[in-house]
Structure 1
Amino acid sequence: MADIRSFPLTRHLRSLPTSHVVHMRRGRVAHEGVGISFYFRALNAAISEVPTHEVELHAVFQTRTNDFQAVAVQVTVTYRFDDPGVAARRLDFSIDPYSGAWLSDPLAQVSTRITELAQQYAMEYVATSGLVDLLARGLPAIRQAMIEGLASDQRLAETSIFIAGVRIVSARPVPELEKALETPVREKVQQEADKAGFERRALAVERERAIAENELQSKIELATREQQLVVQEGANTQRRAAEAAAADKIATQGATDRSMIESEGWVAREKIVAGQKAESLRITGAAIAEAETLKLASYRGVDPAILLALAAQSVAGNLPQIGSINFTPDVISAALARLGVADSKPKTALVPE
């Protein structure tokens, strides 16, 4: 909207960069252009303001397919005024010289005209298509039909309206019919989901079976290894027992041999010792016998009284200590008688061995 300010005896208008302003005075164009500013007098001025920017028009309309199904089509049409001067002369874009506001609603008139034309061209195409075919692949065709129809419309060309673009936002049937149409697809998707679930469960069962088989195989392998271990341990124990028995036998044999050797050695040593002792005794006896022989030989020719005295001396040396000895005549007589008997016996010489 243009900015209008009041001054004494005159007014000043300043338009926007997106507005085309036409100032007519006394039936002639005084000022015209985009984004202009000028002074004017309100009593003799006719001013029109036409937007030059693109305007988007949103519309929703109902139509029917060839199988008598209602369809709601939502479209967005973008348009602009190709020649704002022609549009200002064909449509009422006049503004209030005091406030700058439009005296009517020209954009509403343009929107109504474009909406009706777009609806007409869309209905013409939809009426020749079935609902399922339309929903599946008919939206680009509807868009193309609307673009071609609006571009070739004579009334829009006369008012310098240029259709910059058409977009089909949606084309939907009534909710009940839409739900019914979604059911087969939903069921199919559900079947695919169930199939995927079944396959996943089957795969899980197969994997569980494989895992169970692997566990069972592992247990069998473990049991086999345990059996081998038991057999090997038994063989090792038997071998250790046999080796221990052999070692004990060898040790026993060795001990027996040592005992025999020691016994034989002891017997030999005893024999040797006994022989040595016997030899020593023999030598000692021989020495004693020789000494006695020599001793007796020294006594030959000695007076018996002297021998008796020596014997008494020897006996006295081996007897306990005696303080005094009393010899009676009877004792002396008996001793002398014995000595006489001894002298009367034949004397034998001691011969050493």
Structure 2
Amino acid sequence: MFGLRYFKADSTTYAIKTVNGTIKRQGKGISFFYNSATTSISTVAVGTQEAPFIFNLQTADFQALSVQGQVSFRIADPLRAAELLNFNLQQDGLSYVSEDPLKIGDRVVRTVQSIVQNRVQSETLRAALSLNQALVSLLQAALRESPTLAAQGIEVLDVSVAAIKPSTETARALEAEAREMLLKEADDAIYARRKFAVEQERTIKEAELQTELSVQEKQQEIHESRIANQRTLLRGEMETAREKRQGEIDAEAQRRELVSLSAENTQKQADAEAYAIKARMAAFTTLPVENLKAMALANMEPEQMMAQAFESLAQNADKIGELTITPDLFGKLMKPRRS
């Protein structure tokens, strides 16, 4: 039969079979026979698609920069997309009638560009260069809520910003400035290290001086303590010597007092003895000689009496004719001396 053909869609293609303006069949991965004379087929790719982008924009301070990234999306509502865009296939069932299906990515990219441009134009160059993560968050939120994409049945899955770069001349200027800043930071770091080293050395010197001062103070305290101890010992020795001298003085005074008393007593005793002797002598002068001799003999020892007898014999030797001393008498005379 002329015009009868067979169509089969893959698993990521949503096919819509329309006969005389009425949808007869639709779905993913369906297959059917159709009459090319009365049937039109629309196919919408519902798989994930990726669209890279690079935008040359201008910041609030009139500096040029480029934003490079990629957006991932899919057609979540193929019927709505097919209503707004032409997804019809040609009669061969292989190629599209229009270029609308090929421009889906461009539509998404234009929406992304509008959002990015509004944000970049409100920032200075330095601020815009650091907007990477902020742009990603902004795009994810704005694209999910975009009424334009929702009306076309498009759902954004993910978006990434790979790079935000200034122009070549600006990049060189920024590199030079950054290089100078790094050199300055390096110089500051060297200065800081030197300053820290000087401060450390000063701290060490101060610690050494403080230690030396503490040692000197300790030595001075020890010296002063030693002097104080010596003074205490010297005062003790002086006090001991003073007490010793005072004791000697007191002892000497006592001795003088004793000597004086002894001399006084001796004088009194001598006076008493002299008085007694004088009295006896006075008495003796009145007694006869024979009485005195008798009194003397009465108080003599036998030996003294013998000696007195021999003395009398010696005095009257011219009157004695012959004197005989027997051995017995001589032995008795010598016996007391031997004992």
Cα deviation code 1:75-127 (max 9, x no counterpart)? 21111011112211221111113242111122333223222221111111111
Post-superposition shift, 1:70?
A: 0.8
AA partner of residue 116 (structure 1) = R
Q: Structure 1: which 4+ aligned runs deviate by more than 3 Å?
A: 187-198
Cα deviation code 1:7-49 (max 9, x no counterpart)? 7651001111111000011222222111111100100011000
Post-superposition shift, 1:193?
A: 7.2
TM-score by length of 1: 0.50
49, 63, 68: which one aligns with 1:74: 68
Partner of 1:307: none
Partner of 1:159: 152
SS of the residue corresponding to residue 17 of structure 2 reads strand
1:37 and 1:60 map into 2 onto residues whose CA distance is 39
Partner of 1:63: 57
User: How many residues are treated as equivalent by the alignment?
Assistant: 193
Partner of 2:118: 124
Post-superposition shift, 1:194?
A: 8.5
Structure 2 runs not aligned, ≥5 long:
192-339
Does structure 1 conserve the Cα–Cα contact (< 8 Å) formed by 2:144 and 2:155?
yes
1:107 and 1:99 map into 2 onto residues whose CA distance is 15
102, 105, 109: which one aligns with 1:111: 105
Post-superposition shift, 1:189?
A: 4.2
Cα gap change, 1:191 to 1:45, in 2 (>3 Å): same
Does structure 1 conserve the Cα–Cα contact (< 8 Å) formed by 2:61 and 2:125?
yes
Post-superposition shift, 1:153?
A: 2.0
1:115 and 1:100 map into 2 onto residues whose CA distance is 26
Cα gap change, 1:9 to 1:175, in 2 (>3 Å): closer
Cα gap change, 1:160 to 1:36, in 2 (>3 Å): same
AA partner of residue 116 (structure 2) = A
Identical columns (%): 27
Post-superposition shift, 1:139?
A: 1.4
Bigger Rg, which one = 1
Does structure 2 conserve the Cα–Cα contact (< 8 Å) formed by 1:93 and 1:102?
yes
1:43 and 1:164 map into 2 onto residues whose CA distance is 39
Does structure 2 conserve the Cα–Cα contact (< 8 Å) formed by 1:45 and 1:97?
no
Partner of 2:134: 141
Post-superposition shift, 1:179?
A: 1.2
Post-superposition shift, 1:50?
A: 0.2
2:128 and 2:21 map into 1 onto residues whose CA distance is 53
Cα deviation code 1:248-299 (max 9, x no counterpart)? xxxxxxxxxxxxxxxxxxxxxxxxxxxxxxxxxxxxxxxxxxxxxxxxxxxx
Partner of 2:174: 181
166, 169, 175: which one aligns with 2:162: 169
Post-superposition shift, 1:146?
A: 2.3
Partner of 1:45: 39
Give the alignment's Cα RMSD to 1 decimal: 2.6
Does structure 2 conserve the Cα–Cα contact (< 8 Å) formed by 1:126 and 1:142?
no
2:63 and 2:188 map into 1 onto residues whose CA distance is 34
Q: Does 1:21 align with 2:15?
A: yes
1:117 and 1:9 map into 2 onto residues whose CA distance is 42
1:156 and 1:103 map into 2 onto residues whose CA distance is 22
SS of the residue corresponding to residue 56 of structure 1 reads strand
Post-superposition shift, 1:142?
A: 1.8
Does structure 2 conserve the Cα–Cα contact (< 8 Å) formed by 1:139 and 1:171?
yes
Partner of 1:85: 79
1:111 and 1:173 map into 2 onto residues whose CA distance is 26
TM-score by length of 2: 0.52
